[in-house]
Structure 1
Amino acid sequence: MKQNKYDDPDFFQRYSQMPRSVDGLHAAGEWSVFRSLLPVLADKNVLDLGCGFGWHCRYAREQGARYVVGVDLSANMLARARSTTNDPAIEYRQTAIEDIDFAPGSFDVVISSLALHYVEQLETVYRKVYDCLTPGGAFVFSAEHPVFTAIATQDWYYDAAGNRLHWPVDHYQAEGIRQTHFLDNAVVKYHRTLATHINALVAAGFRITGAAEPKPSDEVLAAYPEMKDEVRRPIFLLLAAVKPGSK
C-alpha cells in the first residue's frame, strides 16, 4: 500500500503546524543523535527518502554535499520543499519510496527520516538502497520505534484522573499493518520488530555500524516542554549501516 496521506488537505494543514514542520531540524527531538550517525557529507551525492519539506536535503548541501536528490510521494510536501529551496544542486522527485529506481552506485549516502514505517515492502527498499549506494556508502535512517508501533492506539495508559501511568506494549511479535490515528486522522503504518529491521539490513548486504533510541535533548525539552514524557519510552529507532567495500 502506497499511502499519500500528506496530500489530504486537513492532514497536511495539521502537519504543517507541528514544531518540526515550523522550526525544522532543531525542533526534532531526535535530530542531534541522527546527525551524529551521519558520515561526512562534503563532496557526496546524497539521496533522501521521504524528504518531506526538504530540511535534510538543505542540511546536506550546507555540509558541502555535491548533489542531493529528495524523493517523496506527496505533491504538497514537494511543493513546500521547492518553495523553500533555492539551490540547483538539490533535485526533488515525486515518487514512492518503494518505486525508486536509481542506477547502481548513484549515491554515497542515503538518508531517511521517519518515513519507513509507512512502507509495506521494507526488504525491497533496503535492497534498492544497497544497490544504489557506492561501495563504502552509508545508509542512515530513523523510523518509529517498535515499542511505539506495536499497539495501534499509540497512546499512554491513563488513570481515572487522566494522568499518564505507562506506555503499553502488546502484540509486539505480530508484525504488519496498524490502523492508527495521527493528527486526528486515520493513518496506516507498519509495525516491525527490531530484529526484523536488523536482519533485513544484513540480508540486503549491509554492515550495521550504529543504533540509537534517542530521547529529546535538554535543549529541545527546554524549548518544547510538552515533550517531557518522551523520555519515558523510546519513540524513535535510528540505524546506521554501510555497504562493504571501497571506491
Structure 2
Amino acid sequence: MLESIKEDYILLNKKSWDEVAPRFFGRTALPVYGPFLPTENELNLFGNVEDKIVLEIGCGSGHSLNFMASRGASELWGIDLSDTQIETAWDLLSAHKSKLNLFQGPMEKNPGIPSEYFDIVYSIYAIGWTVDLPMTLQQVFSYLKPGGTFIFSWEHPLHNRIKQEGEQFVIKKSYHEEGPQQCEPWDLPAMMNQLKLSTYINELIQSGFQIEKVIEDVVITEEIKSGDSTVWYTHQKASLIPAAFIIKCTKK
C-alpha cells in the first residue's frame, strides 16, 4: 500500500474515532479480551504483573491500563490514535499520573516510546486498525525487553466473511482477500485492514516473535444467549465460528 494512502487512512480513522470514542469508553477492556472469548481471569496469560512496566497499543479510554494498575504494574504507558480517547484516559487514570505516560498517535509510528524498556506490550481489540501490520509489529518488537511478552486480541478474520441472514449463515466474502475495507458496523468512514489469521501469525514470526499460544475458544453463557440477535456479534454465529482470537508471544 502506498505510504500516502496509509497516511490518508490514518487521518480518516482518527477523525472517525475522535467522534465515536464516547460509544466505546470502557468497552472491551481487560479482563475482557473480546466477544465470546475467555477472560484474563480464566486464562491468566499475563501472569503476575506486579512491578512490571507495561505498554498498551490502542489504549482507548484507559480501562485496561486501570486493570494493570490494580494488579500492581509499576509503570503504565499507552498510545492511541484518538485525542478524545487519550483525554479520557488521562482523566480515568488521574490517580496514577506519577507512573503514567500516554501518547496520541498511530501505532505504526514511535511517538517517543523508549526501546527495549517494557516487560509487557499488549493490545486489546485494537490491532486490526493498523494500516501497516509489519510496521506496527516492528515497533512493538523494538519496545520490548528481550524475553518480553506481547499479547493481543482482535476480531476473528472469519467473522465478517460470514453473514447471518435470519437463521441462515452465508459466506459473503472470500477469506483469501486481504486489504483495507470499510468498517461495516460503522456509519462513519473508517478503514480496517482485513487480514487472514495466518498473516498475523507469519508477520509475528517474521518480526522475530516466538508464538506461545493462539486462542480461538468460544464461551457462551445463558445471559449472552438472551441478548439481541441483531447485533454485530451474536451467540448463534459464535456457536459456529470464533468471533475473536488472542495471540500470546515473546521477544526472542
Normalised TM-score (structure 2): 0.81
- The aligned runs of 1:127-206 (5 Å cut-off) are 127-149=138-160, 151=161, 156-158=163-165, 163-168=166-171, 170-206=173-209
Q: Whole-Å Cα distance in 1 between the matches of residues 139 and 155 of structure 2?
A: 21
SS in 2 for 1:20: coil
CA offsets, 1:12-58, max 9 Å, x none?
34445xx827x975595336058532242111100000001111101
Q: Which amino acid aligns with 1:190?
A: N
CA distance in 1, matches of 2:33, 2:222: 10
| Residue 119 (structure 1) aligned to one of 119, 130, 153 | 130
Separation in structure 1 between the aligned mates of residue 207 and residue 177 of structure 2, nearest angstrom: 23
Match status 1:32 vs 2:43: no
State how far apart, in whole Å, the 2-side matches of 1:183 and 1:24 are. 23
Matched, 1:82 2:99: no
Residues 1:25 and 1:209: Cα distance change in structure 2 (over 3 Å): closer
Q: Can you give the 5+ residue segments of structure 1 that lack an aligned partner in the other structure?
A: none
Equivalent in the alignment of 2:108: 98
- Matched length: 230
**Which residue matches 1:12?**
21
CA RMSD of aligned residues (A): 2.6
- Which amino acid in 1 is paired with 2:83? A
Aligned to 1:55: 63
Q: Secondary structure at the match of 1:240?
A: strand
- Is it true that 1:107 corresponds to 2:127 in the alignment? no
CA distance in 1 between partners of 2:61 and 2:108 (Å)? 19
Give how far 1:237 is off.
1.8
| CA–CA separation in structure 2 for the residues paired with 1:72 and 1:205 | 24
Task: Work out which of the residue numbers 221, 225, 228 in structure 1 matches 2:224.
Answer: 221
The percent identity for this pair of structures is: 24
SS of residue in 2 equivalent to 1:129: helix
User: Aligned in 2, Cα 1:26/1:6: closer, same or farther, shift over 3 Å?
Assistant: same
- Indicate how the Cα distance of structure 1 residues 156 and 113 shifts in structure 2: closer, same or farther if over 3 A, else same: same
Contact 2:159–2:243 under 8 Å retained in 1: yes
Quote the offset at 1:193 in angstroms. Answer: 1.0
2: CA distance between counterparts of 1:113 and 1:203? 22
What residue ranges of structure 2 are gaps of 5+ in the alignment?
1-8, 229-233
Pair 1:156–1:33, CA change in 2 (3 A):
farther
| Alpha-carbon distance between aligned partners in 1 of 2:33 and 2:128, rounded to the nearest angstrom | 21
Shift of 1:219: 7.1
Query: Which letter does structure 1 place at the counterpart of 2:200?
Result: H
Matched residue of 1:110: which SS? strand
For 1:51, what is the secondary structure of its paired residue?
Answer: coil
Shift of 1:110: 0.3
Q: CA deviation at 1:177?
A: 1.0
